[in-house]
């Protein structure tokens, strides 16, 4: 796999890909529209809930809850995120092993935003040749207007991107109103500003340089490729034959004539290079910079169609297929990454479905460890923390198991009621008269927390100890 030396890209020398029509271009456009619809519209979608925000997806920092439709993530569940990240990584490896860098070519934010920026550029300034000419010409009214309009819409899209991201962290309607009346939190303005600037720079200027020099994935993806991986490839044998590629001059217009002369089917039109957003020539073989967007396939297929020749001079294929061998999709790598993905999905599913709806934690007061009362009894104190993850208030009872003759005091509190989707802290005293049968210094016992009203069903047992002297 070839590696491109580091280059510092100047805007005037930036790659100016030609637009192309074809099924892969269509597929990329569908993904882009869908991705943008989801990202920009989701914060505005409302969702009926008995408690909490009515926004379908909101990372509510004030209440420390992440609402994702009917799914609520509490701070105690944050380890799900690590499982999710691991799943995302191994699933990406799995896909890469099977189909190369399809994530880069179709789904990566950098690709989606660069595509949208290029669409704006193309709409205002025209296709490749017109843009190159505009860049080269001296500044005049036409150039000033076209460039200004392009940058205006780029900045507008960057701002929308930054603001939309911020809207996931608060009520979208309220936050937008506050944002434009200058009363939103400072963090909202700073985050929007940083994202506006970084999107503008990454999608408007850095573009392919991000994929080449910043993204770590492009560096290690080659380790996941093997001869079975589907990659965008040029059929060298068909394209070059014995005598190499050749322009379709008069004597080389038909495939038969070319065969006789020993030249391949590549007519050296250069379209596959002109449409490439990475500015590479796929005919030079697999290259580390190729993001497998398949636009060169569309370009070449159009040429083949125009000549009435078979498509597929550039195509998704594997090294095995190119050399006439059978592909083995089921191999050690794909099976390994597949199993790791399934295990992560299983772990995530089990940890979500078995997640307790009532969290109780107890810590014993250490200062002092115990108090001797005037009537000879000994008192230990405990700090309780309850979290009720259900949508109804929960009435709870606390009792003792394995601590004979002891009693519980909740002070002035008569009933323990934890509001729906809320937490409660409580100070609990346990009082006991030490006698000959229980002079042991540390008496292990268990608190039993029993739901008596609400949606909770299961009791919770917590190990603790009673210290006598
Ligand atoms: S070589 Fe083809 S698949 Fe690779 S980045 Fe360029 S256009 Fe996309
Ligand atoms: S588009 Fe096809 S025919 Fe044209 S140069 Fe590329 S490989 Fe050759």
Over the chain (469 residues), what is each successive 10-residue block's mean pLDDT?
Answer: 46 81 97 97 92 90 87 87 94 92 94 97 96 96 97 98 97 96 97 98 95 86 84 94 95 95 97 96 91 97 97 94 86 92 95 89 89 90 92 93 90 90 92 71 91 91 89
Measured from the CB, is residue 272 less than 6 Å from ligand 2?
A: yes
388 domain residue, yes or no: yes
98 domain residue, yes or no: no
Ligand 2 centroid to residue 317 C-alpha, Å:
17
In sequence order, what are the residues at sequence separation of 6 or more whose Cβ sits closer than 8 angstroms to the Cβ of residue 75?
64
- Residue ending a domain, among 175, 206, 223, is 223
Ligand 2 centroid to residue 129 C-alpha, Å:
18
What is the predicted pLDDT for the residue at 412?
86
Report which of 264, 203, 205 is spatially closest to residue 236, judged by C-alpha positions. Answer: 264
What is the predicted pLDDT for the residue at 13?
67
Measured from the CB, is residue 292 less than 6 Å from ligand 1?
A: yes
- The domain tally of the chain equals 2
Same domain, 217 and 362: no
Measured from the CB, is residue 268 less than 6 Å from ligand 2?
A: yes
What is the predicted pLDDT for the residue at 338?
95
309 domain residue, yes or no: no
What is the predicted pLDDT for the residue at 1?
53
In sequence order, what are the residues at sequence separation of 6 or more whose Cβ sits closer than 8 angstroms to the Cβ of residue 372?
378, 379
319 domain residue, yes or no: no
Q: Is the whole-model pTM more than 0.85?
A: no
Domain of 396: which CATH number?
2.60.40.10
| C-alpha–C-alpha distance, residues 275 and 300, integer Å | 10
- Residue ending a domain, among 175, 196, 223, is 223
| C-alpha–C-alpha distance, residues 344 and 52, integer Å | 30
232 domain residue, yes or no: no
Residue nearest to atom 3 of ligand 2 (CA): 266
* Domain boundaries, position 371: 358-467
202 domain residue, yes or no: yes
What is the predicted pLDDT for the residue at 181?
97
Element (H, E) at 416: strand 416-418
- Residue ending a domain, among 196, 223, 250, is 223
Measured from the CB, is residue 300 less than 6 Å from ligand 1?
A: no
What is the predicted pLDDT for the residue at 5?
47
Same domain, 219 and 364: no
167 domain residue, yes or no: yes
Measured from the CB, is residue 20 less than 6 Å from ligand 1?
A: no
The rounded radius of gyration (Å) of the Cα atoms in the chain is 32
Ligand 2 centroid to residue 432 C-alpha, Å:
89
Q: Which ligand is nearest to the CA of 234?
A: 2
Instruction: Label residue 138 exposed, middle or buried (CB < 10 Å: 0-12, 13-18, 19+).
Output: exposed
What is the predicted pLDDT for the residue at 216?
86
What is the predicted pLDDT for the residue at 32?
97
Measured from the CB, is residue 230 less than 6 Å from ligand 1?
A: no
446 domain residue, yes or no: yes
């Amino acid at each position: 796999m070839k590696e491109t030396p580091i280059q510092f890209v100047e805007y005037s020398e930036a790659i100016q890909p030609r637009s192309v029509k074809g099924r892969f271009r269509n597929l990329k456009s569908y993904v882009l529209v869908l991705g943008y619809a989801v990202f920009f519209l989701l914060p505005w979608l409302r969702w009926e809930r008995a408690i909490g925000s009515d926004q379908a997806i909101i990372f509510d920092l004030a209440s420390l809850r992440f609402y994702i439709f009917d799914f609520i993530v509490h701070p105690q569940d944050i380890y799900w995120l690590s499982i999710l990240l691991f799943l995302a990584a191994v699933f990406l490896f799995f896909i890469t092993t099977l189909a190369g860098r399809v994530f880069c070519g179709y789904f990566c934010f950098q690709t989606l935003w660069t595509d949208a920026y290029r669409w704006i550029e193309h709409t205002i300034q025209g296709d490749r040749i017109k843009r190159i000419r505009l860049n080269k010409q001296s500044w005049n009214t036409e150039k000033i207007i076209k460039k200004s309009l392009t940058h205006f819409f780029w900045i507008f899209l960057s701002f929308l991107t930054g603001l939309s991201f911020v809207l996931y962290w608060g009520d979208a309607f309220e936050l937008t109103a506050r944002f434009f009346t200058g009363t939103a939190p400072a963090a909202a303005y700073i985050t929007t500003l940083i994202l506006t600037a970084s999107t503008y720079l990454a999608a408007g200027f850095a573009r392919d340089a991000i994929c080449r020099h910043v993204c770590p994935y492009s560096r290690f993806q080659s380790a996941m490729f093997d001869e079975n991986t589907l990659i965008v490839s040029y059929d060298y044998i068909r394209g070059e034959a014995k005598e190499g590629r050749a322009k379709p001059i008069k004597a080389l217009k038909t495939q038969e004539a070319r065969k006789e002369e020993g030249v391949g089917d590549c007519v050296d039109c250069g379209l596959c290079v002109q449409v490439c957003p990475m500015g590479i020539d796929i005919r030079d073989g697999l290259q580390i910079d190729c993001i497998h967007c398949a636009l060169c396939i569309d370009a070449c297929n159009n040429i083949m169609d125009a000549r009435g020749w078979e498509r597929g001079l550039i195509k998704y294929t594997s090294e095995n297929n190119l050399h006439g061998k059978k592909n083995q999709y089921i191999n050690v790598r794909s099976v390994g990454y597949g199993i790791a993905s399934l295990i992560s999905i299983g772990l995530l599913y089990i940890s979500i479905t078995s997640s307790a709806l009532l969290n109780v934690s107890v810590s014993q007061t250490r200062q002092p460890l115990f108090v001797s009362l005037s009537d000879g009894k000994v008192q230990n104190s405990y700090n309780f923390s309850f979290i009720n993850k259900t949508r109804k208030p929960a009435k709870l009872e606390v009792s003792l198991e394995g601590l004979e003759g002891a009693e519980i005091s909740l002070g002035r509190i008569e009933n323990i009621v934890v509001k729906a989707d809320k937490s409660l802290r409580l100070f609990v005293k346990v009082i006991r008269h030490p006698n000959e049968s229980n002079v042991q210094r540390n008496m292990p016992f268990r608190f039993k927390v029993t739901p008596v009203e609400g949606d909770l069903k299961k009791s919770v047992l917590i190990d603790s100890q009673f210290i006598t002297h």
